[in-house]
Amino acid sequence: MRVLGCLDGTNAEQIGYAAQMFTTAEPLTIGLLTVIDVGPRKDIDRMRERFWRPPMQHQPLTGQMLAAETAAAHETLNAGLAYAKGAETLLRQGRPELEIVNTASEWAADVILIGARAEYGEPPHVGPRSVGHVARFVLDHAPCPVLLLRPLAREQFPINR
């Protein structure tokens, strides 16, 4: 079985534990994917266009941006490896939602593990808009089953009926 875990920089532990659920499957290959989002760079280019400037690619800061993105991506993958030892790591660059579904297809994933949305220290959110745009896109477009991972939020229950 080929399990593809999607790391967003905040969910390494969650993905690692979810991947352990598949340990009975033989043979098991775990892939850890992280995507360098090019969206912010495109936004900066659009902003530059508004001020009649050429795209960022030839600017001195571009190198720093790439270095910071790459370092963050490697750190994310290493954090994932701490919970899923021996996993295959995959680093992509582009729109995360597109890269995840395309990688799942190329890598022949049998199941995708994805967090509902990146969590930056806030309490788990239950309710409308609790699934981010990346997870929503993956649910709609994945070439295989998707396991949506949500943080434990039992203290927020029961929901009023």
Q: Which residue, 29 or 62, is less far from another protein as judged by CB?
A: 62
In the complex, minimum distance from the CB of residue 80 to another protein, in angstroms, rounded to a whole number: 14
Q: How far is CA 43 from the centre of its chain?
A: 20
Q: Is the peptide bond before 143 cis (omega within 30 degrees of 0)?
A: no
Q: List interacting residues with another protein (CB under 8 A).
A: 9, 37, 39-40, 42-44, 46-54, 56, 59-61, 64-65, 68-69, 71-72, 75, 95, 97-98, 118, 120-122, 125, 133-134, 137, 140-141
Distances (CA, A) of 2 to 5, 50, 110, 111: 10, 45, 5, 7
In the complex, minimum distance from the CB of residue 56 to another protein, in angstroms, rounded to a whole number: 7
DSSP H helical ranges for 21-161:
39-50, 60-83, 96-106, 133-141
Q: Which residue, 51 or 157, is less far from another protein as judged by CB?
A: 51
Q: Which amino acid appears at position 143 of this protein?
A: P
In the complex, minimum distance from the CB of residue 121 to another protein, in angstroms, rounded to a whole number: 3
